[in-house]
């Protein structure tokens, strides 16, 4: 492809690898990739899945001008549950997205008790709950069913291992290849596992 400056762009993956830039992530965070994917799902009438807003209690507001208000103090009203929820093919979808720079493990400290309790309740009532875990150092994103998380969580609570090794996530999870419009096409994994 030629750009307005007249230079030809080399689109090969090897060219990107030589520059040290990853093809699959290109500076986007996991949350940005999921939001773009969810917009594609919504615009294509595939699913309705949104990021949940965190409930905040506004305490103090400054009005430096009549036309502008600045929130100067606020608190979380309550502990939030998971990052995303919605509906796909008649099923409730509920998941947490986590990104780690760790190369060897996913620390369970990234998940809170109330989040795990919420995900257990979703599964108990017939919903689909999972983690999307991105290992930033490898530019790999995994779909990890919450049912596979439960035994590791129990180990953590009993004082054993406080993380899930990368190799286990790689073996027991499902890698999600990067796509242009559906950057993190997690519904393709849900189709294989649940439908």
Condensed to tens digits (0 to 9), the pLDDT of residues 58-110 reads 788 888 877 788 888 877 666 678 999 999 999 999 999 999 999 999 999 99
Split at pLDDT 50, 70, 90, the class of 28 is: low
Extract the annotated binding site. Answer: 81, 83, 96, 115
Mean pLDDT of 29-38: 95
Q: Does residue 7 have a pLDDT over 70?
A: no
Residue bearing tokens 């620390």 = 107
| Contact (CB, 8 A) for 75 and 56 | yes
- What angle (nearest 5°) sits at the alpha carbon of residue 105, between those of residues 101 and 108? 95
Domain boundaries, the chain: 32-52+80-194
Q: Is 162 helix (H, G, I), strand (E, B) or coil?
A: coil
In the predicted model, is pLDDT for residue 11 greater than 80?
Answer: no
pTM of the predicted model as reported, rounded to 2 decimal places: 0.77
Cα four-point dihedral sign 188, 93, 39, 3 = negative
User: Higher pLDDT residue, 193 or 20?
Assistant: 193
Contact criterion met (CB below 8 Å) for 92 and 126: yes
| Longest CA pairwise span in the chain (Å) | 63
Binding residues for Mg(2+): 81, 83, 96, 115
Which residues face 49 on adjacent strands?
86
Tokens 């230079």 appear where?
Answer: 7
CATH of domain 32-52+80-194: 3.40.1350.10
């Amino acid at each position: 492809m030629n750009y307005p400056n007249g230079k030809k762009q080399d689109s090969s993956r090897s060219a990107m690898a030589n520059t040290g830039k990853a093809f699959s992530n290109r500076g986007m965070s996991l949350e940005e990739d999921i939001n773009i994917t969810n917009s594609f799902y919504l615009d294509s009438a595939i699913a309705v899945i949104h990021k949940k807003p965190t409930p905040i209690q506004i305490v103090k507001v400054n009005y430096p001008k009549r036309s502008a208000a600045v929130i100067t103090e606020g608190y979380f009203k309550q502990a939030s549950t998971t990052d995303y929820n919605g509906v796909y093919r008649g099923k409730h979808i509920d998941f947490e997205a986590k990104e780690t720079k760790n190369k060897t493990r996913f620390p369970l400290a990234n998940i809170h008790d109330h989040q795990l309790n919420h995900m257990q309740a979703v599964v108990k009532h017939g919903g689909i709950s999972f983690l999307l875990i991105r290992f930033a150092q490898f530019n790999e994103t995994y779909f990890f069913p919450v049912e596979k998380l439960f035994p590791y969580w129990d180990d953590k609570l009993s004082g054993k291992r406080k993380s899930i090794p990368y190799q286990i996530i790689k073996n027991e999870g499902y890698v999600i290849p990067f796509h242009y419009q559906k950057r993190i096409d997690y519904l393709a994994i849900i189709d294989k596992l649940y439908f």
